Chain A
Amino acid sequence: MTSTPGRFYTTAVALVVFFLFWAVIAVRPWAQPQGASASSDPRLIALQTREKRLQARAISVQKIIDRRWANYRTALVKRKGQIAAQKAAQQAAQQAAQQAARQVVQQPVASSSPARLSAPAPSVKITSVPPVTATKTS
C-alpha cells in the first residue's frame, strides 16, 4: 500500500466505515423504544385507561350541565317574560282603574250619568244573615 491512490481509497473507505458506525451507534439499536416500554407497564396502562374513562365522564357531565344550563336559561327568559307581562298587565289595570276613577269623578254629568229613572228593579231577597248596615227614613 505504498501507492497514493491506494492510500486514498483506504482512507475514504475508513471514513465511510467510521461514519456508518457512528450512525449505527447514534441510533442506539439496542435500546427499547419508549412507547413499547410504557405500553408494557400495567400501571401506566391502568392510569391511561382511568384517564380516558374520566375524560369521557367529564365530557358527559359537561354535556348534562350544558343541557341543564340551557334549559334553565330558557326557563328564566320565559319566566322573565311572564313577570314582565304580569307587571305590564298590573300597571295597565292600575292605570285603567285610576283613569276610570278620574273619569267617574271628572265626567261631565250628562245623560250618561248613572243616575237614571225607569230602569228595571234589581233582584232582592229576604235573608237571615246578620246585616252590615240598616236603613231608616231619609
Chain B
Amino acid sequence: MLEAPLKAKLDRSDLLRWEFRAMGTTIELLLESADEQRDRDALETVQAEFERLEQVMSRFRPDSELSLLNREGSMVVSPDLERVIELALEAREQTNGRFDPTVHDALVAAGYNRSFDRLPRERRIDAHPPARCGGRVTLEASSGTVSLEPGFHLDLGGIGKGYAVDRAIEILAVAGPCLVNAGGDLAVRGDRPWPIEIEEGPTLELRSGAIATSGRDRRRWLASGEEHHHLIDPATGRAAQSDLLRVTVVASSAVEAEVLAKSLFLGGEAETARAGLPAFLVTLDGRKRLVGDL
C-alpha cells in the first residue's frame, strides 16, 4: 500500500508534480501531462519503485537486503543489489578509491548511525581510531553471490539513490518528458528543456542527463564538539577535508553524477577545474566557479 503523496497537482498547466518521502529525503517527480489518469499510474509506479529499492539498499532498515548482507558477510543478492554493488566497485576503480562503498564503518564511527532525520545534531561520541576503508568485496556474477571482507560493511546511500533516480527516470520516460529529483540527485528525460536552479548558482537548462551535488553544507552534525559530515575520505577514514563547500556535476546518469560529485569534492577545486566536466563549485571561502563546458 503506497503512502499518499505529499503533493500531486498540475503545475504550470502542463506539468504534473508529485512529491513523496523516501530514502530519507523528499522525492519530487515532474511529468509533462498528457493523460492525467495514466500519468498518475506511472507516478505511483515510480513511488513504489523508490520504496522497493529503499527496502533493498537502506542501511538504516534492519530488515533490508543490504543490512542482511552486512550481517551475513556473504550471500546471494537480488539483481538490483548486485548491480548497485557492481557499479560501486566500478566507481571505486575509476576514482582510484575516492568513491568507496565500504565506508560504512567510518560513517558509523563518525556518528552517522541512523537515518539523518533521526540523527541528533549534537551528540557525544567516544574517541575511536579511524575506521578502515577499501575493504575487499567479491562479486560472483554467475551466482549473484556477494562476499565482504571480514570487518567491512557496505554503505550504498549515495549511489543507491542515484541508481533509484536512474530507474525512476526510465520508468517515467515511458509516459512522457519527465524529471526526477531525489533531494539533489536529479535526472531529466524527454524532448523539452528543463530549467534547474543550482543552489547559490545559475539556472541550468538540461534536456537529458543528470545532476548531483556533493557538499559538506548538509548532513553534518557535531560530535564531541567536532563538526562531522557524511563525505568520508576513504584514504583517512574520516570526514573529507576539502577546499570545497559544495560541487554540482552534470553527467549522463544520476549514478555517474553522484560518483563524480563525491570524487571531485574530495579532489578539491583545482582538480575539479582540471577535470573538464560541466560543474558548478562553491569553495569554502565562498567563491563560486563554473567549470567545464558551462
Which of the segments A3-11, A77-85, A119-127 contacts the partner chain?
A119-127
Q: Which residues of A contact B293 (CB under 8 A)?
A: 121, 123-124
- B87 lies within 8 A of A135 (CB): no
Bound-complex Cα distance A122 to B167 (A): 18
Known: A123-B207, A126-B202. A133 touches B213 (CB 8 A): no
Partner of A114, one of B49, B166, B196, B215: B166
A109 at the interface (CB under 8 A from B): yes
> Size of chain B's interface in residues, with CB distance under 8 A?
77
- B196 lies within 8 A of A134 (CB): yes
User: SS class of chain B's interface: helix, strand, loop or mixed?
Assistant: mixed
Shortest CB distance A108–B (Å): 5
Mask of B37-50 contacts with A, CB within 8 angstroms, 1/0: 00000100100010
- B171 lies within 8 A of A104 (CB): yes
Closest A residue by C-beta to B49? A105
Q: Which residues of A contact B261 (CB under 8 A)?
A: 138
Known: A104-B170, A119-B252. A138 touches B184 (CB 8 A): yes
Shortest CB distance A46–B (Å): 70
Q: Which residues of A (95-130) have their CB < 8 Å from a CB of B?
A: 97, 100-101, 104-105, 108-111, 113-130
Q: Which residues of B contact A108 (CB under 8 A)?
A: 79
A33 at the interface (CB under 8 A from B): no
Known: A109-B80, A117-B90. A132 touches B209 (CB 8 A): no
Which of the segments B2-10, B156-164, B234-242 contacts the partner chain?
B156-164
A131 at the interface (CB under 8 A from B): yes
Which of the segments B58-66, B129-137, B174-182 contacts the partner chain?
B174-182
Partner of B82, one of A101, A109, A114, A119: A109
Closest B residue by C-beta to A122? B209
B272 at the interface (CB under 8 A from A): no
B151 at the interface (CB under 8 A from A): no
- B202 lies within 8 A of A137 (CB): no
A28 at the interface (CB under 8 A from B): no
- A132 lies within 8 A of B45 (CB): no
Closest B residue by C-beta to A125? B205
- B250 lies within 8 A of A119 (CB): no
Partner of A138, one of B15, B182, B205, B292: B182
Partner of B79, one of A105, A110, A123: A110
Known: A131-B195, A137-B215. A119 touches B251 (CB 8 A): yes
Partner of B258, one of A116, A134, A135, A138: A138
- A121 lies within 8 A of B211 (CB): no
Interface residues, chain A, CB within 8 Å of chain B?
97, 100-101, 104-105, 108-111, 113-138
A-B contact pairs, 21 of them (CB 8 A): A109-B80, A111-B86, A114-B167, A116-B252, A116-B253, A118-B94, A122-B209, A123-B207, A124-B206, A124-B294, A125-B205, A126-B205, A127-B193, A132-B15, A133-B179, A136-B199, A137-B213, A137-B218, A138-B184, A138-B185, A138-B213
Interface residues, chain B, CB within 8 Å of chain A?
11-12, 15, 25, 28, 30, 42, 45, 49, 79-80, 82-83, 86-87, 90-91, 94, 158, 161-163, 166-167, 169-171, 174-175, 179, 181-186, 193-199, 202-209, 211-215, 217-219, 246, 248, 250-256, 258-259, 261, 277-278, 290, 292-294
**20 additional A-B residue pairs with CB within 8 Å, beyond A124-B204, A135-B197, A138-B25:** A101-B174, A111-B86, A114-B169, A115-B253, A116-B255, A117-B90, A121-B251, A124-B278, A126-B290, A128-B203, A131-B203, A132-B15, A132-B30, A132-B194, A133-B181, A133-B197, A134-B197, A137-B199, A138-B158, A138-B213
